[in-house]
Every structure is written in structure tokens, then in C-alpha cells.
Structure 1
Amino acid sequence: MARVSKRHADPVARLRKAIETGHFLPGQRLPELELAEWLGVNRVNVKLALGKLDQEGLVEVERNKGARVRVISREEAVEILQTFASLETLIARNAAAKATASDGERLKGILAAVQKAQAEEDYVEYSQQINRLHAEIRRIAAHATAARIVATLNVQIARFRLQTLLFPGRIKQSIQELKEIVDAICAADGVRAGKAMLEHLNNMGKALEQNLTQIDA
């Protein structure tokens, strides 16, 4: 593992981001000594970070075996996506009711960044910009309870999204779906925004299911 440049960066945040972006893959072992070197911290901090991520459901810490990135079952993936889709649909409707003109411009700017990342085939950046777009929609919606629950699912959703990039045509389809969401919010059309968000996440779920089926075959 190459050492990160910021030696004193929060090890929990660094590890969470590494799992989110696919730097560490499902099932991959996470040796404490190697992580300590990679993060530039001592093993005590690594152990505490792994314990926190174990509580979040991102890693599994097994006695006498160490830690590994947690593998999500097909059934749990479906449940996570269903929960996320329901909450994000509510959030999109709320955002459409509350968005100002400047909010709309910010959403369009982030959408342009998504399109730029796609054109440059930078798929980690592409996924991160989509996360940013969803975060901005949540900010506009100002639904604290929904946002708090969604925050616990974000890393898993980001992992799923990266997997769906392997499905042919999904990226272009996704961008069109995101444009429809942004357009609906800017038009203050809550019904349309909610429907567009639900369709976007349902299609993501279908792509994930097909990708998992291909892997299992």
C-alpha cells in the first residue's frame, strides 16, 4: 500500500472513502500493520477506526482473524436500495418545493461535472460527483430525518453505483435520468422529481442485479 499524503488525516474517513471508491474491495483483508503504514498512524488508531467501520457495517472484524471489507449479500443489497430509493424520492419532492434559482444553478453545475467525468472516463470522479449531486438535493430539501438515515447508507450505495458502471449503456442512461431529476426540481415539479428519482434508483437496482447475476454465472 502506498502511504497517503496527509499523515494526520482521520483514519475512519480515509478508510471509509477507500471502501466507497473501490480501493478496498468486498472481502479484501485489511491488515492492521499495512493500514497503519498506509494511513501514517499507529495500530491503536487503526484498530479504533476498524471498530467504528465494523459498527457501520462496512468491515467485519473477526477475533484472531483480523478485519476485512464486508461482503453485502444480494438480499441485503436489495433492501438497502429499496430504503434508499424511498427516502431519496421523498427528498427529491421536498427539494422541488424549496429550490431557489441559485439552488437550480448549483444543481446544473454539478450535473455538468458529472457529464465531464463521464466524457473523461473518470469513473471514480463520476461516482463522486453523483454523490455530490444527491447531497446537494438533500441540502435543498432540508429534511433532516430522511437525510440522517440516508447518510448511513451512502457508502454502500456508492459501492453499488461503481458496480453498475460495468453494465453496458448504464452511464449514458444514468446521466439522462439525473438531468430529468434536476430539470424537475428546477421546474418546482415535485411529482415529476419524485418519479424521476425513483426511476433512476430502480434502474440502478436493475443494473446491479444483472451485474451480480453475470458475476455469479
Structure 2
Amino acid sequence: MTVAEQNARARPDLTAQLRDAILNAEFAPHQRLVEADICAQFGATRASVRTTLLTLAGEGLIERLPHRGARVRAISIGEAIEIVEVRVGLESLCARKAAENLTEDGSEELRALRAALETAVSTGDLVGYSRLNQDLDRLLRALSGHEVATQLLERLQAQSARHQFRLGFLPGRAATSAPEHTAIIDAVLAQDPDAAEAATRTHLEGVIALLRTMD
């Protein structure tokens, strides 16, 4: 391996970095993404920034404007609701498949995540709780082994993540959602596909109902 290849591997993935920055509200909706500024902030080349912006535009996180560069795309509550409505079917499928395909290693990961979620709620760590929810989503997708559903969900969840992050900080939300997440985990651990699917559907329908109150 050449030195250039070693350096390339050592550098953090720019697309992941910028995606996380957008999802974590480090960039506001409609904020312009100036190539030179991104290069300076992330220590990246112009070529890598342009590639990243094209990738994130394809994911629906940013929009490219003729002769005006790129900016963070604002996703309305109405669009966020539609995204979660689509996710209901896909995430229910992944939960079902995860229950059907559960391995011993997967069981250990789920139990550890369940304990971490309970700790975050009991200590009032809402930021940590939100991150753990994302970890649970990723783990269920991985356990499902369903590549098409996983690819679709990664794009959809990225687009709706900002609104769901806001929901996580509503008063009393964690106390409501934590048992829903626990029910999903317990159903998968029990290798009960029907219960896993039903628990996932119940949770996401609650998210939709809450989003509608914000519309």
C-alpha cells in the first residue's frame, strides 16, 4: 500500500462527517454549503467536497441550486410524516426478519443496547438516548439481513432524523418511547416475528401521531 493510500484510509469519511453535521443540526435548514468553507472545516480537497455534496444531494439532505451552489434541504413536517409512513412497512419487515434470523451475537448486542437505553432514560440523558435509538435502528437493520430495505431506510431515516431528534426532547417523550423500544427488543429476543412487527408498527404510528401535532 502506498503512502497516499494509507493517508486516504486514515482520513475520516467526509460524506459521513458532513451527513452527521447536518443531522446533528450543526448546519441549519437552507444554510448554504460553501465548498471553500467545508474544505477548511474538514481539511478536505475541493474534489472530495464536490463528490460529497453530490452524494448528499442524492440522499435528499441537501439541494443544489443553479449558479448558487448547495444548501441544506429543509424537510417539512408533512414530508417527514410521509417518510415515517413509508418507514412503517420497511422497519416492520426488518424487525420481523431480525426475529427470524437472530443469532447469539445479535442477542448479546440487543441485551446490551436494552440496558444502555434504560440507563439513559433513568439518568435523563436525552442526547444519549437519542443516539441509542439510532443505534437500535441500525442494529435491527443489520440483524434483518435485508439489503434492499436497509438501503431504503438509511436514506429515509437520514431525511427525517432532524424532526425525530426534536421529538426526543419533548417533555415526557422518552418515558413513552422507551417502553416501545423495549417491546421491540424483547420481541426480537423472543424470536417472535409477529410481535416484533407489531411492536415496530405501534412505535412508528405513535411517531406519526406526534408529528401531526407539530404540523
CA distance in 1, matches of 2:24, 2:121: 16
1:114–1:28: structure 2 CA closer, same or farther, 3 Å change rule? farther
SS of equivalent residue, structure 1 residue 153:
helix
SS of equivalent residue, structure 1 residue 152:
helix
- Structure 1 residue aligned with 2:116: 113
Q: Which amino acid aligns with 1:209?
A: R
CA distance in 1, matches of 2:102, 2:181: 16
Q: Which amino acid aligns with 2:183?
A: E
| Equivalent in 5, 8, 33 of residue 36 of structure 2 | 33
| Equivalent in 36, 61, 64 of residue 61 of structure 1 | 64
Contact 2:39 2:45 in 1 (8 A): yes
- Structure 2 residue aligned with 1:152: 155
Per-residue deviation at 1:42? 2.8
TM-score of the superposed pair, with normalisation by structure 2: 0.86
Structure-to-structure mapping, 1:1-217, within 5 angstroms: 8-210=11-213, 212-213=214-215
Contact 1:99 1:185 in 2 (8 A): yes
Report the more deviating stretch, 196-205 or 69-78. 69-78
- Tell me, which stretches of 5 or more residues in structure 2 are unaligned? 1-9
CA distance in 1, matches of 2:29, 2:133: 21
Per-residue deviation at 1:122? 4.3
The count of residues paired between Structure 1 and Structure 2 equals 207
After superposition, what is the alpha-carbon deviation per residue over 1:141-200, rounded to whole angstroms, capped at 9, x for unaligned?
A: 212222222122231232232021232211111111010111111112211111110111
1:157–1:74: structure 2 CA closer, same or farther, 3 Å change rule? closer
Contact 2:39 2:46 in 1 (8 A): yes
Per-residue deviation at 1:120? 4.9
Q: Which amino acid aligns with 2:21?
A: A
Per-residue deviation at 1:99? 1.6
CA distance in 2, matches of 1:36, 1:120: 38
1:69–1:187: structure 2 CA closer, same or farther, 3 Å change rule? same
CA distance in 2, matches of 1:185, 1:147: 17
Contact 2:184 2:199 in 1 (8 A): yes
Per-residue deviation at 1:82? 1.0
Contact 1:8 1:41 in 2 (8 A): no
Report the more deviating stretch, 147-156 or 53-62. 147-156
- Tell me, which stretches of 5 or more residues in structure 1 are unaligned? 1-6
- Structure 2 residue aligned with 1:4: none
CA distance in 2, matches of 1:166, 1:82: 21
After superposition, what is the alpha-carbon deviation per residue over 1:72-101, rounded to whole angstroms, capped at 9, x for unaligned?
A: 133321221111111111111121222234
1:25–1:10: structure 2 CA closer, same or farther, 3 Å change rule? same
Report the more deviating stretch, 188-197 or 94-103. 94-103
Report the more deviating stretch, 110-119 or 52-61. 110-119
Per-residue deviation at 1:114? 2.6
Per-residue deviation at 1:16? 0.8
TM-score of the superposed pair, with normalisation by structure 1: 0.85
- Structure 2 residue aligned with 1:3: none
CA distance in 2, matches of 1:66, 1:209: 33
Contact 1:21 1:124 in 2 (8 A): no
